[in-house]
Structure 1
Amino acid sequence: MPLPARTRRATHLLLLGAGLALSGCGLNAGADAGSAHDGPLTLGFVNGGGSQFHTCLQKSVEITAKNNFAELVTANSEQDATTELSNIEDMIAREVDAIILQTVSTDALKSDLAKAKSAGIPVFLTSVSADPSDILGAVVVDLEAVGALDARWVADDAAGRDVQVGVIAGAPGAASDLLVGGFTEALPVNAEVVANQPGMFDAAEAGQVAATMAEAHPDLDYAFVANEQMAFAARKSFDAAGADKVKIVTVNGTDEALAALKDGRFSATVSNSAGNTGELAVRNAIALLRDREAEKIAKTPIRLVTRANADTAPLYCPSADR
């Protein structure tokens, strides 16, 4: 759906002030690490799935690698831990200089890091972090803080009234658990979570969950949905069930969601730009490989977005011509 004209401020700044003040040395950075990476670099990028976040993350990684004259080899684990480990092994066989990894789960990550470390190939993480001694670096999204921002909007909007809240989570695992935990823990005592079901980061599944939720809880006031693709499907199901009064708060800050904020389909979202995450990952990985100054653990900026400030929200997904 074409969007109304609006002023956008692309946020491609390296906003690194919120990360941990850790050393800029990489996993295997020894005395001659800089000379080992003075020439053209080959980076491996192992993505975790096919959601809009993953697609935009990959686009950003590809653009930034090209702009920094790095060769890029890509693979997708499709939310499967076994496939992820196989992809890591393939990157090792290709002898990439470093692997940028969007993991499918923290459980899978342990095996991945052990495999890469034994092969002497550093790993740079996106979205989550790990023991700094085991990784080249990371760009993390504070997912608990993301969920908490949505919860605070609910608290402000409820204004002390007793309200019912439903949660449509993603797939069980690191990202969804942190998001939902941050949201539920930050809710006020007057907001009761009456339903919490996984939508598996799948629009069709989320639509079915919303339909069931609307039938079981006709007095539902709010729904927290763990990404905007699911939130659009949930909105359709709520409306079809006569639950159009349910206010949806969600996560990401895509162009489509900003339009939905403006026309009232969504009430709030939290911007955490996949474009920023991908750009920071590539730039910082290259800098750390070459022993240049960069923050080892950086944070993707987050921001609560509503109808009132949608026109100045950060750009979520980069375009290939930027």
Structure 2
Amino acid sequence: MKLLISKSFVGAIVLLSIVLILVGCERKSAGTSASAEGGSGSRKKVVGFSQMENNGPWRIAETKSMSDEAAKRGYELVATDAQTQTSKQFSDVEDMVARKVDAIFLAPREFEGLAGALAAAKQAKIPVFLIDREAAGTPGQDYVTFIGSNFIEEGQRAGEWTVKNTNGKAGIIILEGTAGSSVALDRNKGFLDAIKSSPGMKILASQPADFTRASGQKVMENLIQAHGKNITVVYTHNDEMALGAIQALKAAGMNPGKDVKVVSVDGQKSALEAIVAGDMNVTVECNPRFGPIAFDTYEKYLRGEKIPQKIIVPDKFFDSSNAAKFIDKSY
């Protein structure tokens, strides 16, 4: 009798152990699945993307890249459009902080003007990653890191090409991007640094055209009236302004790409097509597809890995020798 009870008791203990092991495996499996969704944790992570505007091919391609990558990795993305207003972008970031998103990707419209929003995110312990443009603050303190191109180097490459292909003598018009933005300041600095040792390179005028095709055309029309045939080079801080300038040059009976060299930055599809058509000479690539590297960086941050203060994305250089080859891969 005692032996029978002992065997039954042991059997019951074994059965209970098997049940507990199976339940534990199911919980472990469920935990693994949740961890894979949206980076880590038991719920889908919510991340914010504060875009400065969506009114041109470059910005649209950037927003799509962020959206596509978020969906691919299982994140919920809260995307906003500041509509070229720094004040609205400030409010957009504050709204994300109030919503308690897990992280914020920020493409700043201007270098200054967002310190308060960054401070609010910091106080809420929400990591901020600057995308494609820098903002005032200290990396590692006010934001995690900056992910983007080397804008000074882009300007330098454009300037070096210009000096070489004009034999160091040119009458130059510069169409600047958004006043006060880090990208406009840096692309200007790089270009001016590259030409400063060539006294024959004369800046006839340098005016903002706000990174848009319409503004580029309008500003260029006014500058043609002021400087006419003295213009032999147009350097623009982005392709949209370059394409507007080309229209103004053609309307004035000037010959862009030949009599007037057109040098730009971005590498969008319409610019590569303009190079193939002979209307533009060169454009330095600034790749807008930040999604993969942005989310890679965030997930490294979640794992506790050390994040560098700047993450620089390498860019190509397009001219008549290779533009046609990359048109199908461009945005």
TM-score (norm 2): 0.80
Tell me, yes or no, if the aligned pair for 1:271 and 1:316 is still in contact at 8 Å: no
For structure 1, which segment, 181-190 or 262-271, has the greater mean C-alpha deviation from structure 2 after superposition? 181-190
Partner Cα separation in structure 2 for residue 172 and residue 97 of structure 1: 31
2:231 corresponds in structure 1 to: 220
Give 1:115-154 correspondences, 5 Å limit.
115-129=120-134, 130-134=137-141, 135-154=143-162
* Partner residue of 2:205 out of 190, 195, 213: 195
Q: Point out which structure has higher relative CO (alpha carbons under 8 A, 6+ apart).
A: 1
CA distance in 2 between partners of 1:280 and 1:266 (Å): 30
Which structure's CA Rg is the greater one? Answer: 2
Contact 1:274 1:316 in 2 (8 A): no
Matched AA of 2:217 = G
Q: Do residues 41 (structure 1) and 45 (structure 2) align?
A: yes
CA distance in 2, matches of 1:163, 1:296: 38
Distance in 2 of aligned mates of 1:108 and 1:280: 26
1:304 is matched with which residue? 317
RMSD (Å), alpha carbons: 1.9
Is residue 266 of structure 1 aligned with residue 276 of structure 2?
A: no
- Per-residue deviation at 1:146? 0.7
Deviations 1:100-138 (A, max 9, x none): 000111112322211211121110111234522222222
- Correspondence for 1:171: 178
- Residue equivalent to 1:233: 244
Q: Deviations over 1:146-175 (max 9, x none)?
A: 111111110110123x21010011120122
* Residue 204 (1) aligns with residue 211 (2): no
Q: Is the 8 A contact 1:45 1:99 kept in 2?
A: yes
CA distance in structure 1 between the partners assigned to 2:179 and 2:306 by the alignment: 36
Q: Which residue of 2 aligns with 1:157?
A: 165
Match of 1:308, SS state, is: coil
Gaps of at least 5 residues in structure 2 are 1-38
Q: What does 1:311-322 align with in structure 2 at a 5 Å threshold?
A: 311-313=324-326, 315-317=329-331
Question: Which is richer in helix?
Answer: 2
The verdict on how the C-alpha distance between 1:128 and 1:176 changes in structure 2, with shifts beyond 3 A counting, is same
Aligned-partner SS, 2:161:
helix
| Letter paired with 1:178 | D
1:145, 1:263 → 2: CA distance?
A: 27
CA distance in 1, matches of 2:80, 2:261: 37
Determine helix, strand or coil for the equivalent of 1:133: coil
TM-score normalised by length of structure 1: 0.82
State the shift of 1:313 in Å.
4.1
Unaligned 5+ runs, structure 1: 1-35, 318-322
Structure 1 residue 283 displacement after superposition: 2.1
Letter in 2 for 1:100: F
How many residues align? The count is: 280
